[in-house]
Amino acid sequence: MRKEETVKLISAEGFEFVIHKDAAMVSQTIRNMLTSPGSFAETEHGEVTFPEISTTILEKICKYFYWNLQYASGKQTEFHIEPELVLELMMAANYLHT
Amino acid sequence: MYIRVKRSKTTYFIQCEPTETSLDIKQKLHDLIDQPVSDQRLILVSTGEVLEDSKSLADLKVENDAVVALTLRKG
């Protein structure tokens, strides 16, 4: 995995998550941010800040991305979600189109 | 599978296989953070154990979604 193949997702509290581009592209919103034509900061540095998504939720989302890739490749496991995270997670999922 | 490597405010999601060694992980981290393999030390957070270079992730009981802490030697 080379540096150019990764994206950095930054949460409301400033915590950074470095994940593979393929994983991030599970989200339609992030895909659009990273692939839109023209020189946007997001496309060039591979960094996206989410001021409205908290660290716990963003980490869960990153886990989901990787789970989704595994699921798509045939390895079907359960994805556990803590009940207290459900509401915030659904709002984030709506925003991210996942 | 993947593991989460954490240091200060940053988390790296690293894709890997149970057959890979701790050294392979450090090599992947080297590509991301430009720190030589010899200056990196990985600690499995759940047990507090330092991961030895030569051992495989399976031997070290590092599973999918495990959290590993990264420390760096001062130059």
| Assessment of whether the complete model's pTM goes beyond 0.90 | yes
Could B13 and A20 be called an inter-chain contact, meaning their C-beta atoms sit closer than 8 Å? yes
- Judged by CB atoms closer than 8 Å, whether chains meet at A15 and B31 is answered as no
- Position B66 scores a pLDDT of 95
Residue A74's pLDDT is what? 84
List CB contacts (< 8 A) between B24 and chain A: none
Q: Which residues of A touch B15 (CB under 8 A)?
A: 1, 20, 66
Closest alpha carbon within chain A to B29: A1
DSSP lists the bridge partners of residue A48 as A9
The domain locations on chain A are 3-96
Residue written as token pair 């800040």: A49
Class of residue B64 by CB neighbours under 10 A (exposed 0-12, middle 13-18, buried 19+): middle
CATH of the domain at B28: 3.10.20.90
* CB pair distance less than 8 Å for B15 and A20: yes
Give the chain A residue nearest B9 (alpha carbons): A15
pLDDT in tens, A19-77: 999 999 999 999 988 888 877 777 778 899 999 999 999 999 999 999 999 888 888 88
| CA B48/CA A80 separation, integer angstroms | 25
Task: Note down the domain range covering B14.
Answer: 2-72
**In this structure, which topology does domain A3-96 adopt according to CATH?**
Potassium Channel Kv1.1; Chain A (3.30.710)
What is the structure's pLDDT at A7?
A: 93
The secondary element (H helix, E strand) that includes residue B65 is: none
Q: What is the pLDDT of residue B75?
A: 67
Amino acid, single-letter form, for residue B37:
V
Tell me what pLDDT residue B39 has.
95
- CA B48 distance to own-chain centroid: 13
Residues of chain A in contact with residue B9, where contact means CB-CB under 8 angstroms, are 14-16
Q: What is the pLDDT of residue B56?
A: 95
Provide, as residue numbers in chain A, all residues whose Cβ is less than 8 Å from the Cβ of B32. Answer: 1, 3, 6, 18
Amino acid identity for residue B53 in this structure: D
Instruction: Give pLDDT tens digits along chain B (75 positions).
Output: 999 999 999 999 999 999 999 999 999 999 999 899 999 999 999 999 999 999 999 999 999 999 999 999 986
DSSP 8-state symbol, A94? H
Tell me the ipTM for this assembly.
0.90
Q: How many domains does chain B have?
A: 1
